[in-house]
């Protein structure tokens, strides 16, 4: 399929790179493509960024049949633009699609659409330190129908947003509230898909945590409410006695690309790695014994987010010295160095946008 490009006449003024937050500013153009049963995916186009007009009965608004992805384009010191492991995002988009009965999209074509849009918007890729152009591919169910079933029509769109740090804390450690009262996802449900419902499910708990003075929630499993799953919207990793431990991808955890990058780097560096179930009691015991060295989240938006405090059952524990741990720092540095082209890319993770 050929992607039609219709450039707009009146581009916006570019924002100041040093003032970027996360996800509030959008570029001049977007990618759009439609799906019907008869035509399949068709009419791919890059056109002016604009509102999507929807019938109030549109299915996505009622039943949340939608999926999305999040990846970034980085500007290197030499002014070039590159993507980080975009094939992984595109593959995950299709895995998420399956979970919520959305028709798959050809992966090579999605990659082409992302690349084409970033090429058109290249001047929007910021160059201030730690900034990037966040890419948000999204599919929404478009049938105007109130019966509960998968939609017959869809819109696939991609929007772009120049971003800085995700958390106002930046790379500084965050305080986390552990809850067994609220749950994010359950095995057999939607937890491993990047779909709106998982983020909706996280809102109430996160608000309760914020009111108590914490940045985010540490989610436990929905059945026994003991085993650690995720932190906020990120995967979570622990360093205990020099071993890097993270929960396995058991069906209710999002298979994070940054998570995979951290594990790959750790193995490459010879750090012992375990993907295994880890109970909150084990963390508390490890802390009591002086074995808990580091806790950090991993995700595309924040890359690595060190955890300084964990609040659980009325106690608050301080992780390590309460600062940024050496491994969190090392992973952050190594991953961002590859993303921004400051170092060699031994794993073939970087894809240049020519």
The residues that touch ligand COI, with contacts defined as CB under 6 A, are 70, 233-234, 299-302
Nearest CB to ligand COI, comparing residues 137 and 299: 299
| Closer to ligand COI by Cβ: residue 193 or 317 | 193
DSSP codes of every residue in 92-142: HHHHHHHHTTPPP--HHHHHHHHHHHHHHTGGGS--STT-EEEEEEEEEE-
Nearer to ligand COI, 304 or 334 (CB): 304
Q: At its nearest, how many Å lie between ligand COI and the CB of residue 346?
A: 24
Question: Which one, 295 or 301, has the nearer CB to ligand COI?
Answer: 301
Q: With contact defined as beta carbons under 8 Å apart, do 206 and 218 qualify?
A: no
Contact (CB, 8 A) for 91 and 98 = no
Q: Which is nearer to ligand COI, 131 or 153 (CB)?
A: 131
CB of 297 to ligand COI, least distance (A): 8
Is the CB of residue 162 less than 8 Å from the CB of residue 133? yes
Closer by beta carbon to ligand COI, 15 or else 23: 23
38 contact partners, CB below 8 Å, separation of at least 6: none
Beta carbon nearer to ligand COI, 65 or 153: 65
List all residues 6 or more positions away from 328 whose beta carbon is below 8 Å from its beta carbon: 294, 296, 304, 306
Euclidean distance between CA atoms 216 and 202, whole angstroms: 10
Closest approach of ligand COI to the CB of residue 5, in Å: 27
Long-range contacts of 89-93 (CB under 8 A, 24+ apart): 89/137, 89/257, 90/114, 92/194, 92/255, 92/257, 93/67, 93/69, 93/137, 93/139, 93/194
Token pair for 100: 């919520």
Supply the DSSP symbol for 285: H
Select 159 or 286, whichever has its Cβ closest to ligand COI. Answer: 159
Instruction: Classify strands 216-220 and 174-179 as parallel, antiparallel or unpaired.
Output: parallel
Taking the C-alpha atoms of residue 339 and residue 274, their distance in angstroms, rounded to an integer, is 25
CB-nearest residue to ligand COI: 299
Provide the 3-class DSSP secondary structure of residue 114: helix
């Amino acid at each position: 399929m050929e992607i039609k490009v219709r450039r707009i006449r009146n581009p916006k003024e570019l924002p100041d790179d040093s003032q970027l937050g996360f996800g509030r500013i959008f570029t001049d153009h977007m990618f759009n493509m439609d799906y019907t049963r008869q035509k399949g995916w068709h009419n791919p186009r890059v056109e002016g960024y604009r509102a999507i007009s929807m019938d109030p009965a549109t299915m996505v608004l009622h039943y949340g049949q939608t999926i999305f992805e999040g990846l970034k384009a980085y500007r290197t010191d030499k002014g070039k633009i590159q993507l980080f492991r975009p094939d992984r995002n595109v593959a995950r988009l299709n895995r998420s699609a399956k979970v919520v009965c959305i028709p798959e999209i050809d992966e090579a074509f999605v990659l082409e659409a992302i690349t084409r849009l970033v090429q058109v918007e290249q001047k929007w890729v910021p160059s201030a330190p730690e900034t990037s152009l966040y890419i948000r591919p999204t599919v929404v169910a478009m049938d105007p129908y109130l019966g509960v079933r998968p939609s017959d029509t869809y819109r696939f769109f991609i929007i772009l947003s120049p971003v800085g740090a995700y958390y106002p804390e930046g790379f500084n450690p965050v305080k986390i509230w552990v809850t067994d009262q609220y749950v994010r996802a359950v095995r057999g449900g939607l937890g491993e898909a990047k779909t709106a419902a998982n983020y909706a499910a996280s809102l109430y708990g996160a608000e309760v945590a914020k009111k108590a003075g914490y940045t985010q929630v540490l989610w436990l499993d929905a059945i026994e409410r003991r085993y650690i799953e995720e932190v906020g919207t990120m995967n979570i990793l622990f360093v205990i006695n020099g071993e890097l431990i993270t929960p396995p991808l058991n069906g209710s955890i999002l298979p994070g690309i940054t998570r995979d990058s951290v594990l790959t780097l750790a193995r490459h560096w010879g750090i012992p790695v375990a993907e295994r179930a880890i109970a909150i009691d084990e963390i508390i015991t490890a802390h009591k014994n002086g074995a808990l060295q580091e806790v950090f989240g991993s995700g595309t938006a924040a890359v690595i987010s060190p955890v300084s405090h964990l609040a659980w059952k009325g106690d608050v524990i301080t992780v390590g010295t309460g600062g940024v741990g050496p491994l969190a720092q090392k992973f952050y540095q190594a991953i961002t160095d590859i993303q921004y082209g400051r170092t060699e890319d031994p794993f073939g993770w970087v894809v240049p946008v020519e």
